[in-house]
Every structure is written in structure tokens, then in C-alpha cells.
């Protein structure tokens, strides 16, 4: 997989922050920049909010000139960041042109996920992934296979030289629910058990007999980065949402910590999964 960690969307967020800091440091408002460069209204704001999908190197160079950014190392770093932001991620080969979550996931250094209904995508087997897509009433087998291949490719962030850290709290319902053959289910449970030997992956099971908890409001994923602000992703079919305000992220982090404290510990969870895997 070509550079699994390269995410144009994350690069655009980083570029947007740097441009805003440079503008403010130079004492310009967005409107003043727009008038000075005779740009269309809103163009500066779109760049600074990472809305512009393919920022132009020539535009960034003009902004750096206007802001008086003369340090060649800084200029070249930002121009290179712009070039990276214009590229397409590896996932476009699978037709996932507008899936921002894959882009955000690809460059995360730590992922914390709460899943009350399904096994997290990064831990799914191909058979489970197929069953899940068919459960969404998909009937095009070629499309299902494309999505399964994409999901398996995404999982490589857990096996590369500097793997993403994954912490998954999964409701017991998700691991006991039927999804096809007994062999497929056994394979999926074993996939979860096998995470025990991975130092960068933690799996916890939250028992069905746990008291009502804040996770009942639905699944979410917290994505953390070394050099970028954290994000919260909430998947809701047919659409999803992102939250990046510090207060919103911390609120979800508190909920995740509560769920982790309520769930079986990592060792207890693996022991539970082993009992579940035993032939009846």
C-alpha cells in the first residue's frame, strides 16, 4: 500500500492552521487579504478552513509574499505541504473519493473507538465485513467485494513499521450477534483474541449486564495525531459528523474513559473471548 499514512485531508488542516497563524501574525484580516490580492470573496476563509480541496501552490506563494514570510525553509515546507494536500490518497483506487474518515484514520497515531453494535472495522475479518455490508441491504456483490478489499487495506495501519495505536471498547452484543456461518464467527472471535500479542492494540468487552451508561447514545471514534488537533467521528447512516472543538473532544474522551472503566479489563476481555470461542 502506497504511503498508508499520507492523508491529503490532514495536510489541508495543517496548512490551513499555518496560513491563519501567518496572516494574523502579519496583522491582516481575511477581508484585507482578499482586497489586497483581488481574490474572490471567501477564498481566504476556504483556505484557512481547509475547505479548498486542491490548494494551488501559486496562491500559497502569493500569500507568503504578502505576509512577509522570507525564511526559505518555512516557505518550502509550506509549499511542499500544499503539494501533498493536492494529491489523492491510496483509497481513491477503490473508488472512495469522498471518504474523509479514511483520510483522517490513515494518519492518526492513536484511535480510541466505542462500538456498541458492530466489531470495529480495523478488527474485522473479510467474512464479517461482507456480512455487515449485506446487512445494510447491499446486493451488488462486486461493490461489496470492493468495500471489503478497502477495509482490509485500511487495516494495514496496524501492521506497518510504526503502527497506529488502537484501543477498542466493544459491547458484548457485537461479539455475540450472529453474522453468517459458525466458521466465520469463530474466525472473527479469533481475530479479536489474536490482538493480545499486539502491544499497540487493546480490546475490551463491555458486558450486556452493565448498568445504563453514556455509550448508549451511540458509537464514536476519537482520532489523535502527533502534530494536529484531535477529532471525534460519529458514524450515522446515511451520513456522519465530525467534531474538533477541544471541549467536544474532551467530553467524548471522558465518556470513553468511563466506558473503559466499566468494561472488562483487557486480560478479562481476552479470557471472555476465549470462552466464547470454545465449541458448544
Among 4-13, 168-177, 206-215, the minimum mean pLDDT is found in: 4-13
Alpha-carbon span 65 to 58, nearest angstrom? 11
The more confidently predicted of residues 181 and 198 is: 198
Work out the mean pLDDT of the chain and round it to a whole number.
Answer: 88
Q: How many CA atoms lie within 13 A of 217 on its CB side?
A: 9
Alpha-carbon span 89 to 91, nearest angstrom? 5
Predicted pLDDT at 238: 64
Quickly name the fold that domain 8-87 has.
434 Repressor (Amino-terminal Domain) (1.10.260)
Domain with CATH 3.30.870 in the chain: 95-277
The more confidently predicted of residues 3 and 143 is: 143
Predicted pLDDT at 207: 96
Predicted pLDDT at 18: 87
Query: Residues 26, 32, 33, 35: is their CA dihedral positive or negative?
Result: negative
Q: How many residues does the chain have?
A: 280
Q: What is the pTM of this model?
A: 0.73
pLDDT band at 3 (very low <50, low <70, confident <90, very high): very low
- Domain 95-277 top-level CATH class: alpha beta
The more confidently predicted of residues 228 and 24 is: 24
Alpha-carbon span 214 to 169, nearest angstrom? 13
Residue that is written with C-alpha cell 509549499 in the block: 79
The more confidently predicted of residues 75 and 3 is: 75
Alpha-helical (H) ranges within 112-156 are 126-135, 141-154
Alpha-carbon span 164 to 162, nearest angstrom? 7
Q: What nine digits make up the cell of 204? A: 475490551
Alpha-carbon span 163 to 96, nearest angstrom? 22
Predicted pLDDT at 1: 39
For 56-69, what is the mean pLDDT?
Answer: 93
Phi-psi region of 244 (alpha: psi -120 to 50; beta: other; left: phi over 0): alpha
DSSP 140: -
Among 16-20, 188-192, 256-260, the minimum mean pLDDT is found in: 16-20
Q: What percent of the chain shows pLDDT beyond 70?
A: 91
Predicted pLDDT at 280: 66
DSSP 258: H
Residue 42, CA distances (Å) to 38, 47, 49 in order: 11, 9, 10
Predicted pLDDT at 49: 82
Predicted pLDDT at 9: 72
Domain with CATH 1.10.260 in the chain: 8-87
pLDDT band at 2 (very low <50, low <70, confident <90, very high): very low
Amino acid at each position: 500500500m502506497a504511503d498508508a499514512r499520507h492523508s491529503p485531508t490532514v495536510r489541508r488542516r495543517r496548512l490551513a492552521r499555518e496560513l491563519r497563524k501567518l496572516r494574523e501574525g502579519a496583522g491582516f484580516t481575511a477581508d484585507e487579504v482578499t482586497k489586497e490580492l483581488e481574490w474572490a470573496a471567501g477564498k481566504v476563509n476556504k483556505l484557512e478552513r481547509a475547505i479548498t480541496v486542491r490548494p494551488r501552490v501559486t496562491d500559497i506563494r502569493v500569500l507568503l509574499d504578502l505576509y512577509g514570510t522570507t525564511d526559505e525553509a518555512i516557505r518550502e515546507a509550506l509549499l511542499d505541504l500544499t503539494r501533498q494536500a493536492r494529491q489523492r490518497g491510496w483509497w481513491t483506487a477503490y473508488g472512495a473519493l469522498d471518504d474523509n474518515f479514511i483520510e483522517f484514520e490513515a494518519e492518526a497515531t492513536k484511535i480510541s473507538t466505542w462500538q456498541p453494535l458492530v466489531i470495529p472495522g480495523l478488527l474485522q475479518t473479510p467474512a464479517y465485513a461482507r456480512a455487515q455490508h449485506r446487512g445494510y441491504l447491499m446486493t451488488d456483490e462486486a461493490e461489496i467485494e470492493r468495500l471489503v478489499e478497502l477495509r482490509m487495506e485500511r487495516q494495514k495501519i496496524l501492521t506497518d513499521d510504526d503502527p497506529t495505536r488502537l484501543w477498542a471498547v466493544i459491547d458484548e452484543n457485537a461479539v455475540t450477534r450472529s453474522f453468517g456461518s459458525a466458521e466465520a464467527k469463530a474466525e472473527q472471535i479469533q481475530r479479536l483474541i489474536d490482538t493480545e500479542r499486539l502491544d499497540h492494540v487493546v480490546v475490551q468487552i463491555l458486558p450486556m449486564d452493565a448498568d445504563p451508561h453514556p455509550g448508549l447514545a451511540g458509537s464514536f471514534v476519537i482520532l489523535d495525531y502527533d502534530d494536529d488537533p484531535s477529532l471525534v467521528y460519529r458514524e450515522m447512516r446515511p451520513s456522519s459528523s465530525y467534531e474538533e472543538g477541544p471541549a467536544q473532544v474532551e467530553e467524548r474522551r471522558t465518556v470513553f474513559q468511563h466506558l473503559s472503566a466499566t468494561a472488562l479489563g483487557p486480560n478479562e476481555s481476552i479470557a471472555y473471548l476465549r470462552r466464547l470461542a470454545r465449541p458448544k
